[in-house]
Structure 1
C-alpha cells in the first residue's frame, strides 16, 4: 500500500512507493574522484520513468558531476549507471538516449532559430523532409513559430532558453538533463518558465533530471528532490516531505527558513515527546514518531510560518507558548517577518501573512508578546 503523502502533491504519480515499479535510471554505488577530491561518494539513486527529479545542493556538492556522468561527459571512478536496465559504461555521449540543456544555452550565433533546432537532427543524417517536420513541431511546442528566422542575438533571454529547450527535445531523447536551465532569467520570467517546463514534461511524458541550487525552483517543479552535500544524498523525497519532515539539520536549514531550538529529550511516551530547552528553561511538547530516548540531545526545528504571535498567552491543549519581545520586523508586502527575542542573544522568526491593510492594534517593535505553535508543528532532529 502506498504511503499517504505529506502536504499537497503535484500529480497522482508515485512509482517510488511501488516496489514492483522498475528503475528507469539507476546510480549504483557510484564514486567519482578528481585526484584526491571526491566529487561523488558511493552514491546510489533510483529515478523512475516520467519522473521530474531534481538534484539540489550548493556549489561543489556533486550534483553537476552526477548529471555529467549520466550524459557520458565523465566516467565513474567506481560503480555503475543504468538506463532502462542497460549499463552505460563504455557508451559515448552521442550514443546515449539522453540530451543535455546547459545554463549558457550554447546556441550557434550564426544560425537562425530553426537551424539551431535542426542541427542535431542533420548531424544524425535525418532526411530533410523529416527534419523540417520535426523543427516545425518543436517551434509550435515552445511557441516560437514567429521567430524561426531570427538569430540568437535578436531574442530575449526567455526566448533563447526556449530555443535551447526545443533543440534538446528535437532528437526525442528518453531523458532530458537540465543543468541550471533558468539561472540567467529574471525572477518573474523564471517563475513563468518553471510552470511551462512542468506542463511540457507532463505532456511529453518524458523523464526530466534537473540540477539546481535554487530550492524554490526544485520545490516548484520536481516530483522528488535529492538534497546533496559533499557528494552524498542526504534526503531523497517529495518536496512537501523534505520541507515538513527534514531528516537532518542540514536539510532543514537548506530548504526554506527554519528556527532551531536546542534541547534534551526529557519524556517519551509513544509519539508524545517532551524536549527540555535550557535556553528557555521550559519543556516543549512534540508529537512525532521517532526513535529517541530520554536524555538524548536533540533539537526542535519549526518553520517560521507555523509560529503565531499574540499579545495574550494562548490557552488550550496541545499548544506550546513562550514569551518574547519583538526585536525587528521585515515588511515584505504579502507577509511580515517578525524577529522575536526569546532569550539573551537568541532570536527566532515568525512569518505573518498580511491579510488586511489595517490592523487596529498592530504588533510592533519592542512589544512584549507570546509566541505559540501546535505540538505537531515542529520536528525533532537528532543529526
Structure 2
C-alpha cells in the first residue's frame, strides 16, 4: 500500500478542472426564526477527501454538518452527494453516518453490541453482524474489550467504540462533530494520526467539524474557515497559514502580527507600506489594493527575528522593549513593545541546550523580518 504521506502529497482533485465534486453544497441556508445559522453557503468536497470545517462556536459549522447528515432541514439551497439530491431523504437512508461529540453510546450494552446496533436495526443476519463487528473492533484495536460496557473504558476507548459503530454500516461519507474534544491533549494528538490512517485505509470521505486549528491543520486535506454562517476561505493547510485572504483568517489560524499602514507602492516586485509613524515596510507579496488605501502587512511570529543589537543590513527593522517572555521548552516567545505602543510577537526555536536567555524583561530589543515573510491584506 502506498504510504499516507505520498498519497496526501499527490491528492489534489480540487486542482483538476475535470474532477467532479463528490459533495456539492449549493446556496445552502438554514434559519432558526430570525437567526441565520448558515447563510447562502456554496461548497464542494471531493471523494476520499479529509475535509475540515473550522471556526469558533456559533459560526454554523455543526449546523452545516447536521444538514449533511439529515438531522436538520435546509431553509433554502440543496446538497448533492455523488450527483443525488439529498432533499427529503431521512438520516437512516442516507449513505452517510455521523459520529457525535458525546459519542452517544448505550451504557447498558457491551462494546460489541454498541458497534453492531445499526446493523441489527437494518436487519442484517446475525452471522454477518458478528463478522462485521469483529472487523470494526480489529480496525480500532479494541478486540479484547468486546464484552465491556462503556463505563469500563477510558475516554479514548469510548471514542474508538463510537468510531467503530459509525464505520460499521460502511457509509460513503463519515461526519465527525468535534470527535476529539473529550480527549486529553496527548491522546488527542495520537488519535489525529489514527483517524488519518483509518480514513486512508478505508478510502472514505471524512468531513470533520472542529474549533481546534491544530487539529484541522494536522488532519485535513483542505480546510473551510467559517464565520457567521459563511465560508471565508477554502484551501489546504499550508495555503491557509501562509496565504490567508483576510485579517480574520490570518488571526484565527495561528498567531500573527498585523502592521497597519497606507499602501505607497505596488508592482510586480512587491509592495511598500508606510505606517502612521512614518516607518516604511517592504513586502515581496503583491497587494490587492489601490495605492493610498489602508492595508495590513501580516507576519507570523516565527518569521520575526529578535536581537539585542540592530541587525546589519536588515530591512523592516523596529526597536522596542521586551514586554513579556514565554519559555515553552522547544521555543521562546518574546513580546516586544515598540516605541509607538504596538506589541510584536516573535518566536525563536531553542535549538541549543542552555539555561538563561540573551534577552530578558525590559531590555531594549530589535525586531525585524525579511520582505518575503509577510502577506499584504486589504480586508
- TM-score, reference length from structure 2: 0.96
Q: Report whether the alignment pairs 1:261 with 2:259.
A: yes
Contact 1:9–1:240 (CA under 8 A) maintained in structure 2? no
Count of matched residue positions in the alignment of Structure 1 and Structure 2: 374
- The correspondence for 2:135, drawn from 113, 137, 154, is 137
- The correspondence for 1:84, drawn from 82, 85, 101, is 82
Q: Report whether the alignment pairs 1:373 with 2:364.
A: no
Tell me what 1:25 maps to.
23
Q: Report whether the alignment pairs 1:295 with 2:260.
A: no
Tell me what 1:3 maps to.
none
Q: Report whether the alignment pairs 1:36 with 2:34.
A: yes
Tell me what 1:236 maps to.
234
Tell me what 1:94 maps to.
92
Contact 1:223–1:238 (CA under 8 A) maintained in structure 2? yes
Tell me what 2:59 maps to.
61
- The correspondence for 1:311, drawn from 308, 311, 319, is 308
- Where do 1:1-383 residues align within 5 Å? 10-279=8-277, 281-316=278-313, 319-358=315-354, 362-383=358-379
- Measured in 1, the distance between the counterparts of 2:124 and 2:229 equals 40
Contact 1:245–1:379 (CA under 8 A) maintained in structure 2? yes
- Measured in 2, the distance between the counterparts of 1:76 and 1:21 equals 27
| Larger deviation, residues 68-77 vs 352-361 | 352-361
Report the Cα offset of residue 359 of structure 1. Answer: 6.7
Report the Cα offset of residue 361 of structure 1. Answer: 6.7
Aligned to 2:231, the other structure's residue is in SS state: strand
Report the Cα offset of residue 225 of structure 1. Answer: 0.4
Aligned to 2:225, the other structure's residue is in SS state: strand
| Larger deviation, residues 286-295 vs 352-361 | 352-361
Report the Cα offset of residue 9 of structure 1. Answer: 9.7
| Larger deviation, residues 110-119 vs 324-333 | 324-333
Contact 2:266–2:287 (CA under 8 A) maintained in structure 1? no
Aligned to 1:11, the other structure's residue is in SS state: helix
C-alpha distance 331-233 of structure 1, shift in aligned 2 (>3 A): same
> C-alpha deviations, 1:129-181, integer Å up to 9, x for none?
11111011001000001100000000000000000000000000000000001
- Measured in 2, the distance between the counterparts of 1:269 and 1:61 equals 37
C-alpha distance 152-125 of structure 1, shift in aligned 2 (>3 A): same
| Larger deviation, residues 266-275 vs 247-256 | 266-275
- Measured in 1, the distance between the counterparts of 2:290 and 2:346 equals 30
- Measured in 2, the distance between the counterparts of 1:10 and 1:329 equals 37
| Larger deviation, residues 146-155 vs 351-360 | 351-360
**RMSD (Å), alpha carbons:** 1.4
Contact 2:271–2:287 (CA under 8 A) maintained in structure 1? no
Aligned to 1:183, the other structure's residue is in SS state: coil
Aligned to 2:369, the other structure's residue is in SS state: strand
Report the Cα offset of residue 343 of structure 1. Answer: 2.4
- Measured in 2, the distance between the counterparts of 1:314 and 1:97 equals 60
- Measured in 2, the distance between the counterparts of 1:352 and 1:267 equals 31
Tell me what 2:3 maps to.
none
Contact 1:271–1:290 (CA under 8 A) maintained in structure 2? no
Contact 1:99–1:173 (CA under 8 A) maintained in structure 2? yes
Tell me what 1:5 maps to.
none
Moved over 6 A (4+): none
Aligned to 1:81, the other structure's residue is in SS state: strand
C-alpha distance 196-37 of structure 1, shift in aligned 2 (>3 A): same
